[in-house]
Amino acid sequence: MSSIKGPSTHEYDGSNLRIAIVHARWNESVVDALVVGALNKLGQCGVKAHNIVIQSVPGSFELPLACSRIIAGSRTQNGGSTGDLLGFTSANTPGSVADSPTASVPFDAVIAIGVLIKGATMHFEYICDSVSHALMRTQLDTGVPIIFGVLTALNEEQALERAGMGAGMRHNHGEDWGLAAVEMATRCRIWG
């Protein structure tokens, strides 16, 4: 049976947009698939490879601060490498798009990607709650759309399915996040 879930698709032209992807490294194989899904959609929407910056952080708990600093850094830096924004290198980024030299142009949107899988303790609940609230607060404080690419899965199977890696559902939610980034970035330019 087909599903009614998900946004209706409306593709926007991303050829003038600058997008950052910030991803956690916990549950890395699933995260990598989601990042590739997002990259594929960004590419299909015309976002140029040199306008996509990828940074990683240890776990999902670190995503909000990283998004905040990356947005602030892109507003103040004067050229140079995006690796300077957080002091990271591109060594552990998945997919074919690595950190690239950038102009001093602010990001139009940031996609925050992480995979939280429930364990035996309350860790999951605390991180899910704090990360979702902090990402929302960061996008409202900065005015830059932050796409919520954090899977909050009750088990590994749920996470794999949502990254297009499961036995059943093959949809990769990273693709939705890529589309959402381009749409929100475009709309925010129009709204001013």
Residues lying near ligand DLZ in the complex (CB under 6 A): 24, 26-27, 58-62, 114-117, 119, 123, 127
Strand order in the sheet with 146-153: 52-57, 19-24, 109-117, 146-153
Q: Which is nearer to ligand DLZ, 12 or 88 (CB)?
A: 88
58 within 8 A of 126, measured Cβ to Cβ = no
Residue 13 beta carbon to ligand DLZ: minimum distance, rounded to whole angstroms = 33
Residue 100, judged by CB atoms within 10 A of its CB (0-12, 13-18, 19+), counts as middle
Residue 56 beta carbon to ligand DLZ: minimum distance, rounded to whole angstroms = 11
Q: Which is nearer to ligand DLZ, 20 or 112 (CB)?
A: 112
Rounded Cα gap, residues 12 and 5, in angstroms:
21
Which residues does the annotation mark as catalytic? 123
Helices (H), 2-120: 28-44, 63-76
Using alpha carbons, select from 32, 9, 62 the residue that is nearest to residue 172: 32
185 within 8 A of 108, measured Cβ to Cβ = yes
* 3-state SS, residue 101: strand
Residue 168 burial (CB count, 10 A)? 7
Nearest to ligand DLZ by Cβ — which residue? 59
Residue 106 beta carbon to ligand DLZ: minimum distance, rounded to whole angstroms = 26
Q: Which is nearer to ligand DLZ, 59 or 166 (CB)?
A: 59
Q: Which is nearer to ligand DLZ, 97 or 116 (CB)?
A: 116
